[in-house]
Amino acid sequence: MRAWDRLMLAAVPSAASCARAFAKYTLRWWDATHVMDDALLVVSELVTNAVTATGPKTTTPTWTDVKAEHILGVQLRVVDMHLYVEVWDRSRELPGTKHPTVDVENGRGLLLVEALTKRWGTSQSSAGGKVVWAEWELSTPPTLTVDVPPVPHRVPGHVRVPEGAAKDTVDIALMERVLEGLRNL
């Protein structure tokens, strides 16, 4: 089975909860709920990192703070028995795992991603930015649930992507990741 779906969001703090809802609905539609808990946590971590890397630098951004460069893309793909979560952001700076001390509040996200997935990595995009991805090997083949419609892409106004060329960049970058995956089959 091959399936995919993608969502573009403004890189604001509430993007993580919107991305989780998107992932939850999509995984239910694909009947891949056996990996849902881990996948939702990974989506949260990767989207939060993308917001930190490319979102408006104000603590509580308003819609007027969001510009075309404050954008991220979330893509879920299933190829055969593998689930991929891929998050694109405009920053070219690659993330790395840290080993924080017990008194530090941040820096554990990618350690969680590493612990919960088969593998994870990054891809630079020729369109700009990077894709951080995570992979799971599925224990049962997913199926499309016919009595549930596909994911509606109704994005709340406060996380809606501004119109412009930046939307094309997200599509190109995430499609490059798909092509990279197909070449590795």
> How many structural domains is the chain composed of?
1
What does the pLDDT look like over 34-58, one tens digit per residue?
Answer: 899 999 999 999 999 999 988 767 7
- Single pTM value for the model: 0.78
CATH code of the domain in which 48 resides: 3.30.565.10
Domain that holds residue 91: 2-183
Residue 87's beta-bridge partner residues?
Answer: 74, 132
What does the pLDDT look like over 79-116, one tens digit per residue?
Answer: 888 999 999 999 888 776 666 555 555 556 777 888 88
